[in-house]
Amino acid sequence: MTADVGAQLRKGVVEYCILGLLDREPMYGWQLSEQLVQAGLVASIGTLYPLLGRLRTQGLVTAFNQPSATGPVRKYYRLTPLGRDQLNAFRLQWGPFTASVHRLIGEDTRD
Amino acid sequence: MTDTTPEITTVYLAQLDTELDQLPEDLHRDIVNGIREELEGLDGEAAAARIQQLGDPAFIAAGARAETPNQAPLVGTDAPTPGRAFSITAAVILIAGSLLIPGLGAVAGLVFVSQAKAWSRREKTTAWLTPVGVALLAMATVALMSAAGVGGAHLVVLVGYLVFPAVGVTLAVRAQGRGWRA
């Protein structure tokens, strides 16, 4: 069994969390990074870009350039239809999965 | 137009660029561009605050490396290059072997070089063909010198004798320059 359970759990879900954020609206790198770092899912913006690269390679996410209100053109990321399908498939499994795990491990009620 | 980018931004992006140097090119570019977008248009104070949020360039690069397991081996690490020892041995056999045992030593060295991973097929072919070319040139020169009644044919033979170590040294220098990788 691995000692760093948190790292393994994060690894398993972080790509779906990116899909989940992009399902709300297209986002640029820093926007995504801020939310994921705050949630403890990535260590830094450096961790995010390889994940985005993989998602783009798999055709789940696509990128486009858009000028921002404050000036610079930003690269935004958004879900593809395939990405949305993948996210929906994950959502269908996530609820029952976490319920099953919770049923099995429960909470430590011993004093 | 005058570049109004604050120095802190320029320095930070340069450090980031250096730290990401060993990563795949497209990833390197995505990270630098993504962060540059974030700092663009900010004055010194705002840029400093954002840089603090972004974190140390080395930390960002470490995060990217950790998520890029299949990246090419890092240059300058202690990890040995596959076949490095064999390649060095091949170069030594070619240089020393051809000097100590003329003929047989040179052929043995060239056979080892052909099996080594430090050189491309083109370099290996050149290593075999160069002595042949030099030998033909030497023979032609000797013939011309004899016909002209000029002495010093032994110098031409010496050139033929030294061509193998010269090829070995050239191969070694080229391989050393790129970390004994083809």
Question: Percent of chain B having pLDDT more than 90?
Answer: 27
Q: Ranked by mean pLDDT, which of A17-26, B21-30, B129-138 comes out on top?
A: A17-26
Q: What is the pLDDT of residue B72?
A: 44
B155-177, pLDDT tens digit by residue? 777 777 788 888 888 888 888 87
Rounded to whole angstroms, how far apart are CA atoms A32 and B96?
Answer: 60
- Give chain A's domain count: 1
**pLDDT value at residue A35:** 96
CB atoms within 10 A of CB A62: 16
Output phi, psi for B23, to 5 deg.
-85, 160
Q: What pLDDT, on a 0 to 100 scale, did the predictor assign at position B2? A: 60
Check: CB of residue B34 under 8 Å from CB of residue A29.
yes
The domains of chain B are located at: 7-66, 84-177
Report pLDDT digits (tens) over B47-87. Answer: 999 999 999 999 999 999 988 875 444 334 444 555 778 88
A88 lies in a domain?
Answer: yes
Alpha helices, DSSP H, located in chain B: 7-19, 25-39, 44-54, 57-66, 84-92, 98-100, 104-115, 121-147, 153-177
Q: How far apart are CA B169 and CA B182, in angstroms?
A: 16
In whole angstroms, how far apart are CA A9 and each of A2, A30, A89, B134? 11, 23, 18, 65
What is the extent of the structural domain holding A13?
A: 5-105
pLDDT of res. A111: 63
Q: Does B29 touch chain A (CB under 8 A)?
A: no
A111 inside domain = no
Q: How far is B149 from B29, CA to CA, in rounded Å?
A: 67
Give CA–CA dist B57/B9, Å, rounded. 12
DSSP state of A41: S
Q: Tokens in use for B136?
A: 């033909």
Within-domain flag for A58:
yes
Which of B30, B40, B41 has the CB atom closest to A49's CB atom?
B30
Closest CA to A20 of A56, A57, A59, A60: A60
Q: What percent of chain B has pLDDT over 70?
A: 88
Q: B174 phi and psi, to 5 degrees? A: -65, -45
Is A87 inside a domain boundary?
yes
* Count of positions (residues) in chain A: 111
Do B30 and A73 count as a contact with CB atoms less than 8 A apart?
A: no
The average confidence (pLDDT) of chain A is 91
pLDDT at A1: 58
Does ipTM surpass 0.90 in this model? no
Q: Tokens 């998520």 identify what position?
A: B67
Interface mutation target, options A4, A33, A41, A49, chain B, most CBs of B under 10 Å? A49
**In the structure, what pLDDT confidence band is assigned to residue B94 with cuts at 50, 70 and 90?**
confident
**What pLDDT sits at residue A51?**
95
What residues of B are in contact with residue A69 (Cβ under 8 Å)? none
Q: What is the pLDDT of residue B150?
A: 77
CATH code for the domain in which residue A65 is found: 1.10.10.10
